[in-house]
């Protein structure tokens, strides 16, 4: 009789972290925590969760908020579609489902922003339903323990691991089981230098006995990056400056930034000084005061070189309609990507 599952449960009882979303079965709170933790480490997401629940204690509070406010609370966490979908889905549940969170797996994964993992996590933890929550931790643990070399980012692996994980699910407390497996991966069976010397299931672990711990799990896809050159304009308009909201299907959708000119190549200071017909200036000519050093900002699929250009425009009448005039000291009211935060901070020693 294989002792894998009971050993993991024993391990969890001794080693689990006391996290703020672990003392509730409220599907709303479980939902918020699971969305925040998508591709995000517990330590990074923890304070965002506390701030979020503090400001939006219930689904009704979230549904009643503006998207700007939700994005502002999300600022710096990345993958902002999570926040937009959270807000949109809260309104959908409030308006179309009479405020009642769905209680079956099939209904839960119909919600925007909730896929197989998050659906199983909510179904099992909030409602005690027997669905395996398979995140990156679980892929790693099962891959090593059972010696599965199917690339975990392939379609084949999805089915294979789902069937394996389903077979491990105990009839009672699937939420406890799912969290135990994930926590074990996060703390014990880590990606690098796992603690095999002090592992309760090392005896029966395939990877450990075959010395393949460092080789498993297998991943096949490599992400490649593209370079982009952003030239932001800090328009010195006395007490005011101007911002624009990002739209379209690109990074940072619905967040704000200084008016942006994107180039497909790097520009020299001389070229920047001679820029003419900048669309958003609406025919005005600008005097360039200062040009910051480029900031290199790295995203998963992009490397952005961003420059902040400090300009003055004599007697501004109106700029293009997509720009909004804001008091300089109220910029902090707007949700902005990390890069804009950095540029603002650097502008202090401009």
3-state secondary structure the chain: CCCHHHHHHHHHHHHCCCCHHHHCCCHHHHHHHHHHCCCCCHHHHHHHHHHHHHHCCCHHHHHCCCHHHHHHHHCCCCCCHHHHHHHHHHHHHHHHCCCCCCCCHHHHCCCCCCCHHHHHHHHHHHHCCCCCCCCHHHHHHHHHHHCCCCCCCCHHHHHHHHHHHHHHCCCCCHHHHHHHHHHHHHHCCCCCCCCHHHCCCHHHCHHHHCCCCCCCCCCCCCCCCEEEEEEEEEEEECCEEEEEECCCCCCCCCCEECCEEEECCCCCHHHHHCCCCCHHHCCCCCEEEEECCCEEEECCCEEEEEEEEEEECCCCCCCCCCEEEEEHHHHHHCCCCHHHHHHHHHHCCC
Distance from C-alpha of 110 to C-alpha of 147, rounded to nearest angstrom: 33
Among 5, 60, 79, 294, indicate the residue that binds DNA (CB under 7 A).
79
Task: Work out whether 329 is an interface residue with DNA (CB under 7 A).
Answer: no
- Note whether 34 binds DNA by CB under 7 A: yes
CA distances from 216 to 41, 133, 143, 220 (A): 21, 20, 6, 12
Size of the site for DNA (CB under 7 A): 62
Using rule CB under 7 A, residue 140 touches DNA: yes
Q: Is 20 in the site for DNA (CB under 7 A)?
A: no
Q: CB of residue 40 vs DNA: minimum separation in angstroms? A: 4
Sole binder of DNA in the list 182, 308, 309, 323 (CB under 7 A): 182
Residue 176 makes contact with DNA by CB under 7 A:
no
By CB under 7 A, tell whether 144 contacts DNA: no
Question: From the list 61, 219, 227, 239, which residue makes contact with DNA (rule: CB under 7 A)?
Answer: 219
Q: Tell me: does residue 205 bind DNA (CB under 7 A).
A: no
198 sits near DNA (criterion: CB under 7 A): no
189 is a site residue for DNA (CB under 7 A): no
Query: Any contact of residue 100 with DNA (CB under 7 A)?
Result: no
Among 8, 32, 37, 343, binds DNA (CB under 7 A): 37
Residue 266 bears catalytic tag: no
| Residue with Cβ nearer DNA (224 or 276) | 224
Its sign, for the CA torsion 87, 100, 172, 176, is: positive
Q: Which position among 102, 119, 194, 200 is part of the footprint of DNA (CB under 7 A)?
A: 119
**Looking at beta carbons only, is 166 or 289 nearer to DNA?**
166
- State which residue, 121 or 165, has the beta carbon closest to DNA: 121
Contact window for DNA (CB under 7 A) among 2-10, 129-137, 169-177, 326-334: 129-137
Q: Which is nearer to DNA, 61 or 112 (CB)?
A: 112
State whether the Cα torsion 48-49-50-53 is positive or negative. Answer: positive
Of 115, 128, 279, 283, the residue at the interface with DNA (CB under 7 A) is 115
Shortest distance, CB of residue 229 to DNA, whole angstroms? 15
Rg of the chain in Å (alpha carbons) = 25
Contact criterion met (CB below 8 Å) for 259 and 242: yes
The answer to the question of residue 337 lying near DNA (CB under 7 A) is: yes
Residue of the chain from 7, 58, 85, 292 that contacts DNA (CB under 7 A): 85
Q: Which is nearer to DNA, 253 or 284 (CB)?
A: 253
Residue placing its CB nearer to DNA in the complex, 291 or 340: 340
Query: Contact residues for DNA (CB under 7 A)?
Result: 19, 22, 33-34, 37-44, 76-81, 85, 112-119, 121, 135-137, 140, 154-156, 179, 182-183, 185-186, 191-193, 219, 221-224, 226, 249-253, 297, 299-302, 337-339
Residues belonging to the active site: 34
């Amino acid at each position: 009789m294989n002792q894998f599952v009971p050993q993991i449960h024993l391990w969890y009882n001794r080693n689990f972290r006391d996290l703020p979303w672990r003392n509730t079965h409220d599907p709303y709170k479980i939902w918020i925590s699971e969305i925040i933790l998508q591709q995000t480490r517990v330590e990074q997401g923890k304070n965002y969760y506390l701030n979020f629940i503090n400001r939006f204690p219930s689904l009704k509070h979230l549904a009643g908020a503006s998207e700007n406010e939700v994005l502002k609370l999300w600022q710096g966490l990345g993958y902002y579609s999570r926040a937009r979908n959270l807000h949109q889905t809260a309104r959908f549940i409030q308006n179309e489902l009479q405020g009642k969170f769905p209680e079956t797996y099939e209904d839960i994964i119909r919600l925007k922003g909730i896929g197989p993992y998050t659906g199983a996590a909510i179904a099992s933890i909030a409602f005690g339903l027997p669905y395996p929550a398979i995140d990156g931790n679980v892929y790693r643990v099962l891959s090593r323990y059972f010696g599965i070399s199917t690339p975990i980012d392939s379609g084949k692996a999805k089915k294979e691991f789902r069937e394996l994980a389903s077979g491990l699910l105990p009839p009672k407390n699937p939420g406890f089981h799912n969290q135990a497996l994930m926590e074990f991966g996060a703390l014990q069976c880590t990606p690098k230098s796992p603690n095999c010397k002090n592992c309760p299931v090392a005896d029966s672990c395939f990877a450990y006995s075959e010395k393949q711990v460092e080789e498993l799990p297998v991943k096949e896809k490599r992400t490649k990056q593209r370079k982009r050159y952003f030239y932001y304009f800090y328009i010195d308009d006395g007490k005011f400056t101007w911002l624009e909201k990002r739209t379209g299907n690109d990074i940072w959708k619905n967040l704000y930034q200084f008016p942006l000119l994107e180039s497909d190549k790097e520009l020299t200071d001389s070229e920047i000084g001679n820029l003419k017909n900048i669309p958003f200036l609406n025919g005005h000519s600008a005097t360039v005061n200062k040009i910051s050093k480029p900031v290199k900002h790295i995203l998963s699929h992009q490397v952005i070189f961003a420059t902040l250009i400090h300009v003055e425009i004599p007697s501004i009448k109106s700029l293009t309609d997509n720009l909004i005039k804001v008091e300089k000291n109220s910029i902090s009211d707007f949700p902005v990507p990390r890069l804009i935060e950095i540029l603002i901070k650097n502008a202090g020693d401009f």
